[in-house]
Structure 1
Amino acid sequence: MAGPRPDNAAAHPPRLVIFDCDGVLVDSDEPCCLICAQEARKAGMDVPDDQAVQTFSGMALPLIQDLIERRTGRSLGPDWAHTMQARFVAAMREGVEPVPGVHAMIEAVKKLGLPMRVASNSSMEEMTVKFAATDLAPHFVGRTHSARDLGVPKPRPDIYLQAARDEGVAPRDCIVLEDSDPGARAAVDAGMTCVVLRAADQPLPDWPGLIRIEKLSDFPKILQTRLNA
């Protein structure tokens, strides 16, 4: 775990919890990355299925399109991202699961009295389908933010800053739960504490203030420690 900066949000008790969606609340990251890998191979980019998550996790569709086009020298066309979004929504309607332990984790956060928001690179349409399928929708009515709809995807911090503004909370008083490097970069650049859900054998970037957890049940413990401090 990297040491926090002196001005980092870690010095402040949290007043708002902001969740990423895919890979944190909903187990949709791998299916979407596999769809992207299939499309990348069609364009001539060699991305085996077992490298799909590593290659595309946390990336917004316009950035994925740019990556594929740069690697292949081929244009995917102006409608590619829109078509892919429709494919994601269709895949989610066929079935998606919550990340293990997510409902218990959310209930624990609610008991601490902390407000919660979601800030994701996914579109609002995608998140609506995902949350309905996983029974998460009641927790985030009117509290969901889409970087795709905003037009400024992570790793830019804009979507996290918008969530903080809408809550009326300073960025330093926010704590973010992420799983991807682009998302973590966005949270760090927003001046927020970032907790990363990631297995012990997977490296974390060497950025200030990152905190690793390996299971969701550890997240409320971190919040409780911060509140007590």
Structure 2
Amino acid sequence: MPSALSQVFRGPLKLVIFDCDGVLVDSEEACCRLCAQAARDAGWDVPDNLAVQTFSGMSLATIQPMIEQHAGKKLGPQWEPTMQQRFVAAMKEGVEPISGVHAMLDAVKELGIPVRVASNSSCEEMDVKFAVTELTPYFDGRIHSARDMGTPKPRPDVYLKAAEAEGVQPYECVVLEDSDPGARAAVNAGMACVMLREPGKAIPDWKGVERIDKLSDFPEILSRLVKVVS
């Protein structure tokens, strides 16, 4: 077993929980650019080339006060639902799957491990993303939204809800994440976390966190964890 994961994972592996944006679907940049445009409209100059760096992994509930602070004005109670509908509309126009995601999910399925999704995105948004990218059959009825719960990452609630729905303990789960807030949520939930990061980009030095730089590496890690017994 990878040494970092063994700090938290006790096995046997009973559930794999996926983040959505940046792990399954390539929609994060589009959503972050919409947030950057909203920030500029409010008076905070966030260029598109810094959109992902500024807003990656954050919920709208976190982004709104951040923009308000920098812009020096309130955005009002309709800002979040308005942005949510902009996200959904953008996803309907087209979103791409992360490279290799279907092969990776097929390999996880062959290992016989249950899967769920736990994301800061709304269920409405994820339904559109998964339909466009043909991922719905993998996760139909197994999707959890931190936004809909009102408890966005880095709070652990959405990951704990996924484990509860599966009837398993947090230490029997492995999370696949790409953002620091998402990984923090997994750590706070007491779950082992694998982070998908491009080569050269560091991951946080947190207990129970391992890295991969391509999705095809993930099933191999899981195959080793399946063999671990408590």
The interval holding the TM-score normalised by the smaller chain is over 0.9
Q: What is aligned with 2:28? A: 29
Q: How does 1:4-153 map to 2 (within 5 A)?
A: 6=7, 8-9=8-9, 11-153=10-152
Distance across 1 between alignment mates of 2:170 and 2:115: 14
**Residue in structure 1 matched with residue 220 of structure 2 by the alignment:** 221
**Aligned-partner Cα distance in 2 for 1:3–1:136:** 30
Separation in structure 1 between the aligned mates of residue 209 and residue 179 of structure 2, nearest angstrom = 12
Corresponding letter in the other structure for 2:13: P
Measured in 1, the distance between the counterparts of 2:157 and 2:6 equals: 21
CA shift, 1:118, in A, is: 0.3
What is the one-letter code of the residue matched to 1:34? R
Give me the CA root mean square deviation. Answer: 1.3
Structure 2 residue 211 is the aligned partner of structure 1 residue 212: yes
1:74 is displaced (CA, Å) by 0.9
CA–CA separation in structure 1 for the residues paired with 2:199 and 2:175: 19
In 2, Cα distance between equivalents of 1:186 and 1:2? 20
Displaced runs of 4 or more, over 3 A: 1-6
Q: Distance in 2 between matches of 1:193 and 1:175?
A: 5
Do the aligned residues in 1 keep the contact of 2:24 with 2:101 (CA within 8 Å)?
yes
User: What is aligned with 1:165?
Assistant: 164
Q: How many Å apart are 1:204 and its aligned residue?
A: 1.1
Deviation track 1:177-198 (CA, whole Å, cap 9, x = no partner) reads: 0000110000001000100000
| Letter of the 1:137 counterpart | T
Matched residue type, 2:165: D
* TM-score normalised over the length of structure 2: 0.95
Q: Distance in 2 between matches of 1:39 and 1:201?
A: 31
Alpha-carbon offset, residue 3 of structure 1: 3.9
**Cα-to-partner distance string for 1:39-96 (whole Å, 9 max, x where unaligned):** 1111121211111111111111110101111122211111001000000000000011
Percent identity between the aligned chains? 64
Contact 2:68 2:74 in 1 (8 A): yes
Q: Return the alpha-carbon distance in structure 2 between the equivalents of residues 140 and 108 of structure 1.
A: 15
Question: What are the within-5 Å matches in structure 2 for residues 175-194 of structure 1?
Answer: 175-194=174-193
Judge conservation of contact 1:45–1:72 (CA < 8 Å) in 2: yes
User: Are the aligned partners of 2:5 and 2:210 in contact in 1 as well (CA < 8 Å)?
Assistant: no
Structure 1: runs of 5 or more not aligned: none
Letter of the structure 1 residue corresponding to residue 152 of structure 2: P
How far apart, CA to CA, are the structure 2 residues paired with 1:5 and 1:14? 12
- The alpha-carbon deviation at position 228 of structure 1 amounts to 2.6
Deviation at 1:200, TM superposition (A): 1.9
For these two proteins, the number of residue pairs brought into alignment is 227
Which residue identity lines up with residue 61 of structure 1 in the other structure? L
Consecutive unaligned residues in structure 2, runs of 5 or more = none
The secondary structure found in structure 1 opposite 2:97 is coil
Cα distance in 2 for residues equivalent to 1:213 and 1:167: 26
Q: Distance in 1 between matches of 2:107 and 2:4?
A: 26
Structure 2 distance, partners of 1:130, 1:173, is: 28
Counterpart of 2:163, as a letter, is A
Native 8 Å contact 2:5 2:193 kept in 1: no
CA distance in 1: counterparts of 2:225 and 2:45, whole angstroms: 44
